[in-house]
Amino acid sequence: MKISAIAPMGRFYMFLLIASALLVFGFSSLSLAQEQRIDINALIDETQKMSSSQDEMSMVWWLPEEFWLANFAQDPSSTPEQAQQFVKVLNPYTVLCVIDGLIGTFGGVTYHTEEFIRENIYIVDEKGTRYTPIKNKDLNADTTNFLSMMKPLFVNMLGPMGENMHFYLFPSKTEDGERIAKVREYGNFTVKVNLNEYKWRLPLSSLMPPKICPEDGEKLNGAWKYCPWHGSKL
């Protein structure tokens, strides 16, 4: 089975995985208390990047804190304060979930090791500054515990594929104190894994309220600066 057939199913299972992981911490799935409800499927589509090669099983999933918040339910046992405490643990980091391997002639996948990927992955911000993964020993204790609890869920739900999904954490801010990836501001960043390059253009449209074309009132992508049909500034 080639990656074109695997990718959609992989996204579905990974979504279930995250929902299950949140349940471990006492939360259930899916909404935020806000005026604009986030479309979780659109957010997943925007935060995942996959190789288009038929010979590769390569994916990078960027998990900003907005993704985790969008998966917290409103229920009596969960408050906004508890949700904020949860994401506070990951706030110092840019979190990536990565799988990388080669697909053989008969569909078997030879996965690269965690160590190989760690040596061949880095983030490049919009100014061209390169960031390498933070060493596991330098992560805060709560983050280390969270990641150690996530790994068995990957394995139990996805088998060999889950066993070969790895988290890599990078700094969340530049030396100047600016966030590397600003989900609601214009900019970009790139993740390079082995020979592949995955680029995110920001902001994420799934997190932005729609804009209205001043010419005909059509509802447009909230991340757009101009109407593509009339050229009018939005």
Cα–Cα distance between 99 and 101 in angstroms, integer? 7
> In angstroms, how far apart are the furthest CA atoms of the chain?
56
User: Are 223 and 113 found together in one domain?
Assistant: no
- pLDDT, tens digit, 9 for 90 and up, residues 21-46: 444 444 433 333 343 467 778 888 89
- pLDDT, tens digit, 9 for 90 and up, residues 102-139: 999 888 889 999 999 999 999 999 999 999 999 999 99
User: Are 123 and 212 found together in one domain?
Assistant: no
Compute the mean pLDDT over every residue in the chain, rounded to the nearest whole number: 80
| Residues spanned by the domain of 227 | 207-234
Question: What secondary structure letter does DSSP report for 75?
Answer: B
User: Are 175 and 216 found together in one domain?
Assistant: no
User: Are 89 and 196 found together in one domain?
Assistant: yes
Give percent of the chain with pLDDT exceeding 70: 81
User: Are 101 and 71 found together in one domain?
Assistant: yes
> Which H, E and C letters describe 1-37, residue by residue?
CCHHHHHHHHHHHHHHHHHHHHHHCCCCCCCCCCCCC
3-state SS assignment for residue 50: strand
96 near 60, Cβ under 8 Å?
Answer: yes
Q: How many domains does the chain have?
A: 2
* More confident position, 227 or 202: 202
Look up residue 42 and give its two tokens: 């659109």
Listed in sequence order, the residues at least 6 apart from 83 whose beta carbon sits closer than 8 Å to its beta carbon are: 27, 68, 69, 72
- pLDDT, tens digit, 9 for 90 and up, residues 70-110: 776 444 465 677 777 777 888 899 999 999 999 998 888 89
